[in-house]
Amino acid sequence: MKKVYLHPLPIRIWHWINALGFIILIITGAQIRFGDAMGLMSFETAVDIHSWLGFILLANYFIWLLYYLFTGKIFRLYIPPFWKPIEYIKSSIRQAKYYGYGIMVGDKNPHHPTPDSKFNPMQQISYLMIMALLIPIQIITGLILWDPQLFSSLAKLFGGIQIVSLIHTGLWIFFSAFIIVHFYLATLGHTPMAHIKAMFTGYEEEHDEH
Amino acid sequence: MRAIAIVGLVIVCFLFSYLVPLNQAVSEDTKACLRCHGIGTLKKPLDTGESISLFIDGKRFEKSAHGALDCSSCHPGINLKNHPKPKKVTSKKDYIKEFSPNCLNCHPKNALMKPAVHGEIVKKGEIYCSQCHGSHYISSMKEWKNKVSFTEYCMSCHKFDISKTLPSKEKISLKVNEQEIKKSVHGKFQCLVCHDDFSKVKHPIYNFKDKKQYRTEMTKICTKCHTDKELQKNPAHYALSKTASCIECHGYHGVKPAKVVKAMPENQYCLSCHSRAISKKMKNGETLSVQVKESDILSSAHKKLKCTECHKEFSTTQHPIRVFESIADYRAKAKDICNNCHQDAVKKYDKSIHAEALKKGNQQSPECLKCHDYHKVAFITKDKRASSDLCIKCHADSGKAFKDSVHQQAIEQGKQNAPNCASCHNSHDVLPTNIAKLGDSCAKCHKDVKTSHNKWLWNPPVRLTSFVDAHFNSASCASCHTKVEKAILLTLVDRAKGKPIKEEEVAKALNVDTKAIKGKIDQNGDGKVQEQELWQFMSSMKSKTNANLAGRIDVLNPNDAHKIEPKNKSIKDCAYCHNPNASFKAKLEVNKEGDKPIKFEVDSKALNAAYAIPNIKDFYVLGLTKIKILDVLFFLALLGGIAVPIGHITLRILTAPIRRKRREGK
């Protein structure tokens, strides 16, 4: 068993703040939306928490962005090798096959994470989409909803506050589902806690059996 | 002493009576009476200062129609032996009133009532027999009629204070002052010159409805001599003669030459005619009073102005004849006069809903005169209630609603900065409420309104006034500052131009008449626009225009916006609106040029439908207008998110033996 240092400290900090923030944002978002059915807190409290956390996660996003930009790892880790598309698609299919079939029959995970390639091809495309597109969009739409007057010109660019809200709600739905699947996938290490532990310690244990 | 005097008088009478020459025709009874009453100086002083002559000229009496009658025929029960003691008489008129019924002994009332005019006089009892016919020297009517002049004949009754009450309950005096006629330009005329339908044997009875008709009809008499041709020499006078009665200026019988001295002060010159009840006829037959009360001008803000400063085309030498379609036309044009000095106010007024409504034929809508009056132009009052009362005259409901407001309380407390109608709605540029930006009106007085709201209305972590603006832009002040029912108002707008789409444009886009718009929107005619109807309408509009719906929260009944509550009673709970349970009604507004919008009740579920996304692009209230289908998607996504691990774990559990075998096989 060898240990690989996958998650540098800033990324771990970012991740856990993000994780907690996401969960609370999803819940307060639900409270704002389902004021009639949910009674966790008042509308005002839900909005206050949601707004504070929104800004915290906005700042947090920059921890991730700046860290990976300064270390230059952002491209290596997140950009799929579009110059080798066939190979990339093949490896993606291989990875999907692993999760859908191989993992059941005891195949080895085709992806072996290293500090320079910590994501398997499916993770890579997913996180690229999430980090480069969905989170920024959620932040921007969130900002518009936070102060529709201040960001009225941005709202216009989106096609109106109604569309902004549609996007923000749509992504809230997506992230709600994503976070459940994400948590489950995190338990698919060589032990259920392996990946989660790694997210605390930074070191992923590469198990021979896996 | 009194008894001695009376006895003395009787003795003297007897002694003198034998000296009175009397015809044998006079009865012994009469002779006996005349022994005393034949004395020329015999009279009775009254308490009123009047005196009644008790002298009877025997000779004249003898020649009269009643010469052959005994005194007792008319004065029953009185003879020498039975002479009443000195009678208490309060006045001459009472005396006449008391004795006139004696005539009826021989002249039965029925007979007197037969000639209609005579009957009328007898019935009314304004004058008594003896006043016209005399008492002791009554000549035969036939003889008298032949003998007297026409004027004397008429005056025999009309010199008295007789009157006629018209069906309108107005009373006209029929008394004619002969002296007045004699002094008039018609001084030498007999009555019949003018009243040629009357004669000594003919006395028609006119049945005028009211004084106005009486004046108009009487005026026709003048035109017999003063023909149109003659009157046309002075166009203004001619025009006047067509609407006003001659007698208004020239009087009835004391006809004056109404020549006005041009050198007199201008206002006086004009008022020579215009102070009288003269009027002007409009083309449509309406009549407008052109009477000007001098007292009105003198108490007005224009008291120092000359008439011609407003009525510029008029002067002591010029009096153009103006023609107006109707009073409304006249009133609308009167604005031009005000515009000579008050250009700003008129310019503002021209933009107002009042000007627009007037243009469209709403006669109730005010122009300058309705609020400021004609000549009684009031000073700008500092009495806020008085100036609001002017608006309330027409807008009674608004006045009633305002009564309950904190603003009315402020007026009643005499606060200098308390608002009245004009404070929010303006006085001249009163705009339809949907485009009047009434929120700005509130901010005129509540200057720190943004910062004061920002104390609690902000979204952490930064306290920005733009967050207040976001709310001000989408909810009226009254939404939170009244306790009345609220609604979401959806205004049809051109999203590209950022302007409301007006009724005419809707009609054009739908290719129908403006009146048919309602049927095109509320297709099933149930008075409510259902979701499907709304989207169908929007779809038709969008095929021709950049139509979209702009939304705002406001009071359901616009009039309720007047019921502003005190600050401590206003709504501060965000969840009042931001709540799926907030049951606001929805209304669709289609704007009209310069007028109130047409409103349709809309099924508020439309705001939560997916179709709201493309059709209500710029209005979204957290919680309230959420798109419900997204809630379903959320729960499906949650279920999906949970189903993936469960399914995967299940498969992993099921396939665990395979993995075990494989490991063991290794």
Residue numbers in A near B627 (CB within 8 A):
165-166, 169
Residue range B441-447: mean pLDDT, rounded: 89
* Proportion of chain B above pLDDT 90, given as a percent: 36
Residue range B323-344: mean pLDDT, rounded: 88
Residue range A113-140: mean pLDDT, rounded: 95
Half-sphere exposure of B477 (CA within 13 A, CB side): 21
Q: How confident is residue B568, by pLDDT bands cut at 50, 70 and 90?
A: very high
B337 touches chain A (CB under 8 A): no
B653 & B607 share domain: no
Q: How confident is residue B5, by pLDDT bands cut at 50, 70 and 90?
A: low
State yes or no: pLDDT of B449 exceeds 80: yes
Chain segment B623-655, per-residue pLDDT in tens: 999 999 999 999 999 999 999 999 999 999 999
In chain A, positions 36-95, which contact chain B (CB-CB < 8 Å)? 36-37, 42-44, 47-48, 51-52, 55
Closest alpha carbon within chain A to B662: A106
B499 & B645 share domain: no
- Is the model more confident about A189 or about B115? A189
Residue numbers in A near B637 (CB within 8 A):
173-174, 176-177
B491 & B608 share domain: yes
10 Å CB burial of residue B164 (0-12, 13-18, 19+) is middle
CB A11 within 8 A of CB B599: no
DSSP string, B584-635: -EEEEEEEETTEEEEEEEE-GGGGGSTTHHHHSTT---TTTT--HHHHHHHH
- Is the model more confident about B178 or about B343? B343
B458 & B599 share domain: yes
Q: Quick check: is B64 in a domain?
A: yes
Contact A184 B644 (CB under 8 A): yes
Partners of B487 in the β-ladder: B554, B585
Q: What is the pLDDT of residue B527?
A: 93
B386 touches chain A (CB under 8 A): no
B477 & B562 share domain: yes
Q: How confident is residue B489, by pLDDT bands cut at 50, 70 and 90?
A: very high
Q: From residue B547, give the alpha-carbon distance in Å to each of A148, B427, B491.
A: 22, 33, 10
Residue numbers in B near A162 (CB within 8 A):
612-613, 616-620
Distance of CA A15 to the CA centre of its chain: 8
Q: Quick check: is B438 in a domain?
A: yes
In Å, how far is B412's CA from the nearest CA of chain A? 38
Q: What integer best gives the mean pLDDT of chain B?
A: 86
Q: Quick check: is B247 in a domain?
A: no
B621 & B635 share domain: no
CB B58 within 8 A of CB B69: no
Residue appearing with tokens 């626009």: B529
Residue range B504-529: mean pLDDT, rounded: 94
In Å, how far is B640's CA from the nearest CA of chain A? 7
List, in sequence order, every beta strand (DSSP E) within chain A: 2-5, 203-206
Q: Quick check: is B493 in a domain?
A: yes
Contact B617 A159 (CB under 8 A): yes
Structure ipTM:
0.96
Output the CA torsion sign for B165, B168, B171, B177.
Answer: negative
Q: Rounded to an integer, what distance in angstroms lies between the CA atom of residue B496 and that of residue A156? A: 11
Q: What is the pLDDT of residue A209?
A: 45
Distance spanning both ends of chain B, measured CA to CA: 173
Hey, what CATH topology would domain A2-206 get? Answer: Fumarate Reductase Cytochrome B subunit (1.20.950)
Q: What is the pLDDT of residue A210?
A: 38
Q: Quick check: is B389 in a domain?
A: no
State yes or no: pLDDT of B24 exceeds 60: no
- Is the model more confident about B161 or about B633? B633
Q: Rounded to an integer, what distance in angstroms lies between the CA atom of residue A189 and that of residue B469? A: 51
Three-state secondary structure of B356-402: HHHHCCCCCCCCHHHHHCCCCCCCCCCCHHHHHHHHHCCCHHHHHHH
B630 touches chain A (CB under 8 A): yes
DSSP H helical ranges for B446-577: 449-454, 465-474, 477-481, 503-510, 517-521, 531-544
Q: Rounded to an integer, what distance in angstroms lies between the CA atom of residue A48 and that of residue A63? A: 23
Residue range B156-170: mean pLDDT, rounded: 85
Q: Rounded to an integer, what distance in angstroms lies between the CA atom of residue B237 and that of residue B232? A: 8
B634 & B610 share domain: no
A33 touches chain B (CB under 8 A): yes
Where exactly are the structural domains of chain A? Answer: 2-206
Q: How confident is residue B6, by pLDDT bands cut at 50, 70 and 90?
A: low
B587 & B469 share domain: yes
State yes or no: pLDDT of B18 exceeds 60: no
Which pairs count as long-range contacts for B656-662, CB under 8 Å and 24+ apart, including other chains?
Answer: B658/A104, B658/A105, B658/A106, B659/A104, B659/A105, B659/A106, B662/A105, B662/A106
- pTM, two decimals, is 0.70
Instruction: Count the domains in chain B.
Output: 3
B459 & B582 share domain: yes
CB B215 within 8 A of CB B245: yes
Q: What are the two backbone dihedrals, phi and then psi, of residue B44, each rounded to the nearest 5 degrees?
A: -120, 115
Q: Quick check: is B140 in a domain?
A: yes
> Which of A31-40, B261-270, B411-420, B623-632 is the least confident region?
B261-270
Q: What are the two backbone dihedrals, phi and then psi, of residue B95, each rounded to the nearest 5 degrees?
A: -65, -45
State yes or no: pLDDT of B16 exceeds 60: no
Q: In which domain, by residue range, is B643 found?
A: 630-665
Helix, strand or coil, per DSSP, at residue B463? coil
- Is the model more confident about B265 or about A45? A45
Chain segment B46-78, per-residue pLDDT in tens: 888 888 888 888 888 888 888 888 887 888 777
State yes or no: pLDDT of B25 exceeds 70: no
How many helices (DSSP H) and strands (DSSP E) are in chain A? 10, 2
Of A150, A155, A162, the CB nearest to B613: A162
H/E element holding B554?
Answer: strand B547-555
Q: What is the pLDDT of residue B276?
A: 82
CB B659 within 8 A of CB A105: yes
Helix, strand or coil, per DSSP, at residue A169? helix
Q: What is the pLDDT of residue B219?
A: 80
Q: What is the pLDDT of residue B516?
A: 94
B528 & B550 share domain: yes
Closest alpha carbon within chain B to A55: B461
Q: How confident is residue B2, by pLDDT bands cut at 50, 70 and 90?
A: low
Helix, strand or coil, per DSSP, at residue B492? strand
In Å, how far is A146's CA from the nearest CA of chain B? 7
* Proportion of chain A above pLDDT 70, given as a percent: 98
Q: What is the pLDDT of residue B641?
A: 96
Q: Quick check: is B211 in a domain?
A: no
> Which of A33-47, B256-270, B448-462, B567-581 is the least confident region?
B256-270
Q: Rounded to an integer, what distance in angstroms lies between the CA atom of residue B406 and that of residue B412? A: 10
In Å, how far is A196's CA from the nearest CA of chain B? 16
Closest alpha carbon within chain B to A209: B663
Q: Quick check: is B519 in a domain?
A: yes
State yes or no: pLDDT of B159 exceeds 90: no
Residue numbers in B near A172 (CB within 8 A):
634
Q: Rounded to an integer, what distance in angstroms lies between the CA atom of residue B543 and that of residue B466? A: 35
For helices A161-186 and A135-146, angle between their N-to-C axes, nearest 10 degrees: 140
Partners of B602 in the β-ladder: B529, B586
Q: Rounded to an integer, what distance in angstroms lies between the CA atom of residue A30 and that of residue A18? A: 18
Helix, strand or coil, per DSSP, at residue B18? coil
B539 & B460 share domain: yes
- Report the b/e string of A12-36 with b at 16+ CB within 10 A: bebbebbeebbebbbbbbbbbbbbe
Which of B458, B583, B639, B648 to mutate against chain A (most A CBs within 10 Å)? Answer: B648
Residue range A123-127: mean pLDDT, rounded: 95
Q: How many CB atoms lie within 10 A of CB A132?
A: 14
Residue B487 has what DSSP assignment? E
Partners of B554 in the β-ladder: B487
Residue numbers in A near B623 (CB within 8 A):
32-33, 35, 43
B454 & B521 share domain: yes
